[in-house]
Protein backbone atom coordinates (compact mmCIF):
# COMPACT_ATOMS: atom_id res chain seq x y z
CA UNK A 1 0.00 0.00 0.00
CA UNK A 2 2.92 2.35 0.55
CA UNK A 3 3.55 2.74 -3.16
CA UNK A 4 -0.19 3.24 -3.71
CA UNK A 5 -0.21 5.95 -1.09
CA UNK A 6 2.70 7.69 -2.77
CA UNK A 7 0.83 7.87 -6.04
CA UNK A 8 -2.26 9.10 -4.24
CA UNK A 9 -0.29 11.78 -2.43
CA UNK A 10 1.32 12.88 -5.68
CA UNK A 11 -2.10 13.10 -7.27
CA UNK A 12 -3.52 15.17 -4.45
CA UNK A 13 -0.54 17.50 -4.43
CA UNK A 14 -0.91 18.13 -8.13
CA UNK A 15 -4.60 18.98 -7.61
CA UNK A 16 -3.64 21.38 -4.81
CA UNK A 17 -1.01 22.96 -7.05
CA UNK A 18 -3.78 24.37 -9.25
CA UNK A 19 -5.69 26.13 -6.46
CA UNK A 20 -5.12 29.86 -6.40
CA UNK A 21 -5.54 32.66 -3.92
CA UNK A 22 -8.89 34.37 -4.66
CA UNK A 23 -7.41 37.81 -3.90
CA UNK A 24 -4.19 37.33 -5.85
CA UNK A 25 -5.10 34.83 -8.57
CA UNK A 26 -1.54 34.51 -9.91
CA UNK A 27 -0.45 32.80 -6.69
CA UNK A 28 -1.25 29.18 -5.95
CA UNK A 29 -1.63 28.01 -2.40
CA UNK A 30 1.69 26.22 -2.85
CA UNK A 31 3.38 29.48 -3.86
CA UNK A 32 2.01 31.06 -0.69
CA UNK A 33 3.40 28.22 1.39
CA UNK A 34 0.18 27.61 3.28
CA UNK A 35 -0.13 23.87 2.61
CA UNK A 36 1.83 22.32 5.46
CA UNK A 37 1.02 18.66 4.97
CA UNK A 38 -1.23 16.11 3.30
CA UNK A 39 -2.12 13.02 5.32
CA UNK A 40 -3.91 9.99 3.93
CA UNK A 41 -5.35 7.71 6.56
CA UNK A 42 -7.82 4.94 5.77
CA UNK A 43 -10.29 6.56 3.42
CA UNK A 44 -9.81 10.12 4.57
CA UNK A 45 -7.58 12.79 3.12
CA UNK A 46 -6.50 15.47 5.52
CA UNK A 47 -4.96 18.68 4.24
CA UNK A 48 -3.19 20.76 6.85
CA UNK A 49 -2.97 24.45 6.10
CA UNK A 50 -1.66 27.51 7.90
CA UNK A 51 -3.69 30.71 7.66
CA UNK A 52 -1.80 33.79 6.50
CA UNK A 53 -3.47 36.55 8.54
CA UNK A 54 -5.95 35.82 11.37
CA UNK A 55 -8.70 37.85 9.72
CA UNK A 56 -7.96 37.12 6.07
CA UNK A 57 -11.35 36.48 4.41
CA UNK A 58 -9.61 34.61 1.57
CA UNK A 59 -8.87 31.72 3.94
CA UNK A 60 -12.48 30.52 4.13
CA UNK A 61 -12.69 30.59 0.37
CA UNK A 62 -9.39 28.74 -0.03
CA UNK A 63 -10.62 26.01 2.33
CA UNK A 64 -13.80 25.71 0.27
CA UNK A 65 -11.87 25.62 -2.99
CA UNK A 66 -9.59 22.85 -1.71
CA UNK A 67 -12.65 20.81 -0.77
CA UNK A 68 -14.36 21.41 -4.13
CA UNK A 69 -11.23 20.58 -6.11
CA UNK A 70 -10.66 17.30 -4.28
CA UNK A 71 -14.32 16.32 -4.41
CA UNK A 72 -14.32 17.20 -8.11
CA UNK A 73 -11.54 14.65 -8.57
CA UNK A 74 -13.51 11.99 -6.76
CA UNK A 75 -12.04 12.33 -3.29
CA UNK A 76 -15.18 12.58 -1.15
CA UNK A 77 -13.81 12.21 2.31
CA UNK A 78 -11.77 15.36 2.78
CA UNK A 79 -10.85 17.17 5.94
CA UNK A 80 -9.12 20.54 6.04
CA UNK A 81 -7.33 21.30 9.28
CA UNK A 82 -6.06 24.83 9.88
CA UNK A 83 -3.03 24.87 12.14
CA UNK A 84 -1.84 28.17 13.62
CA UNK A 85 1.57 27.18 14.91
CA UNK A 86 4.23 27.59 13.64
CA UNK A 87 2.79 30.88 12.42
CA UNK A 88 2.84 31.52 8.69
CA UNK A 89 5.58 33.78 7.45
CA UNK A 90 6.33 35.38 4.08
CA UNK A 91 9.61 33.42 4.22
CA UNK A 92 7.55 30.41 3.13
CA UNK A 93 6.57 32.02 -0.15
CA UNK A 94 8.24 30.30 -3.08
CA UNK A 95 10.73 32.08 -5.36
CA UNK A 96 8.41 31.25 -8.24
CA UNK A 97 5.59 32.91 -6.31
CA UNK A 98 7.65 36.05 -5.75
CA UNK A 99 8.47 36.24 -9.46
CA UNK A 100 4.79 35.90 -10.38
CA UNK A 101 3.77 38.55 -7.84
CA UNK A 102 6.18 41.04 -9.36
CA UNK A 103 4.93 40.31 -12.86
CA UNK A 104 1.39 40.89 -11.58
CA UNK A 105 2.40 44.35 -10.33
CA UNK A 106 2.75 43.61 -6.62
CA UNK A 107 6.18 44.02 -5.05
CA UNK A 108 7.10 40.66 -3.45
CA UNK A 109 8.14 40.51 0.22
CA UNK A 110 11.81 41.28 0.77
CA UNK A 111 13.87 38.16 1.50
CA UNK A 112 15.28 39.60 4.67
CA UNK A 113 12.62 40.90 7.01
CA UNK A 114 13.40 44.43 8.04
CA UNK A 115 10.40 45.95 9.73
CA UNK A 116 8.71 43.25 11.77
CA UNK A 117 9.50 44.93 15.08
CA UNK A 118 8.05 47.64 17.27
CA UNK A 119 10.75 50.23 16.56
CA UNK A 120 9.14 53.58 15.82
CA UNK A 121 9.63 55.66 12.70
CA UNK A 122 12.11 53.13 11.41
CA UNK A 123 13.50 53.85 7.95
CA UNK A 124 11.21 52.59 5.22
CA UNK A 125 12.16 49.28 3.75
CA UNK A 126 13.90 49.55 0.39
CA UNK A 127 11.18 48.10 -1.78
CA UNK A 128 11.73 47.70 -5.49
CA UNK A 129 9.10 49.17 -7.79
CA UNK A 130 7.52 46.25 -9.69
CA UNK A 131 6.99 48.49 -12.73
CA UNK A 132 10.33 50.22 -13.36
CA UNK A 133 12.62 48.34 -10.92
CA UNK A 134 13.67 51.52 -9.13
CA UNK A 135 14.47 51.34 -5.42
CA UNK A 136 13.64 55.03 -5.19
CA UNK A 137 10.26 54.38 -3.59
CA UNK A 138 8.48 55.39 -0.40
CA UNK A 139 5.78 53.98 1.84
CA UNK A 140 2.41 55.72 1.74
CA UNK A 141 0.82 53.47 4.36
CA UNK A 142 1.72 50.18 5.96
CA UNK A 143 -1.89 49.03 5.67
CA UNK A 144 -3.21 48.49 2.17
CA UNK A 145 -6.03 47.00 0.14
CA UNK A 146 -5.76 43.65 1.94
CA UNK A 147 -4.30 42.57 5.28
CA UNK A 148 -1.11 41.30 3.64
CA UNK A 149 -0.19 44.44 1.72
CA UNK A 150 1.29 47.90 2.29
CA UNK A 151 0.91 50.84 -0.06
CA UNK A 152 3.98 52.32 -1.79
CA UNK A 153 4.71 54.80 -4.52
CA UNK A 154 7.66 55.04 -6.89
CA UNK A 155 9.52 58.38 -7.03
CA UNK A 156 10.82 57.62 -10.52
CA UNK A 157 7.90 56.30 -12.54
CA UNK A 158 5.40 57.84 -10.06
CA UNK A 159 3.24 54.71 -10.08
CA UNK A 160 1.63 53.69 -6.80
CA UNK A 161 1.93 49.97 -6.05
CA UNK A 162 1.13 47.31 -3.47
CA UNK A 163 3.89 45.69 -1.47
CA UNK A 164 3.30 42.22 -0.04
CA UNK A 165 4.64 43.14 3.39
CA UNK A 166 6.88 40.99 5.51
CA UNK A 167 5.12 38.93 8.12
Partner 1 sequence: MKDYLIDYTLHLADDALILAQRNSEWCGHGPVLEQDIAITNISLDLIGQARNFYQYAAQLINSSTNNPVNSATEDTLAYLRTEREFKNCLLVEQPNGDWAQTILRQFFFSANQYLLYQQLKNNKDEQLAAIAEKSLKEVTYHLRWSSEWVIRLGDGTEESHARMEKAIVELWNYTGELFVTVNYEQEAADSGIGVDVSLQKDQWTNKINEVFNEATLTLPLNTFQHTGGKNGLHSEHLGYILTELQYMQKTYPNATW
Among 17, 83, 126, 132, binds partner 1 (CB under 8 A): 83
Count of positions on this chain that bind partner 1 (CB under 8 A): 27
For residues 110 and 166, give the distance between their C-alpha atoms in angstroms, rounded to a whole number: 7
Among 9, 19, 147, 157, binds partner 1 (CB under 8 A): 147
Considering beta carbons, is residue 75 or 152 the nearer one to partner 1?
A: 152
For residues 127 and 130, give the distance between their C-alpha atoms in angstroms, rounded to a whole number: 9
Q: Is 51 in the site for partner 1 (CB under 8 A)?
A: yes
Considering beta carbons, is residue 9 or 82 the nearer one to partner 1?
A: 82
Q: Which distant-in-sequence residues (6+ apart) come within 8 Å of 86 by Cβ?
A: 50
Among 8, 19, 151, 157, binds partner 1 (CB under 8 A): 151
Among 17, 39, 71, 87, binds partner 1 (CB under 8 A): 87
For residues 110 and 104, give the distance between their C-alpha atoms in angstroms, rounded to a whole number: 16
Minimal distance, residue 5 CB to partner 1, in Å: 28
Among 54, 72, 74, 112, binds partner 1 (CB under 8 A): 54
Binding site for partner 1 (CB under 8 A): 51, 53-57, 83-88, 116-121, 140-145, 147, 151, 167
Amino acid sequence: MVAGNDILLKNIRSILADITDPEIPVLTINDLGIVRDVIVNDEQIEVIITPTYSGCPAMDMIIMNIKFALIGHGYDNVKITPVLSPAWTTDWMSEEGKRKLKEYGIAPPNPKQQVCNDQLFAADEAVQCPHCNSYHTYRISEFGSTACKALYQCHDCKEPFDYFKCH
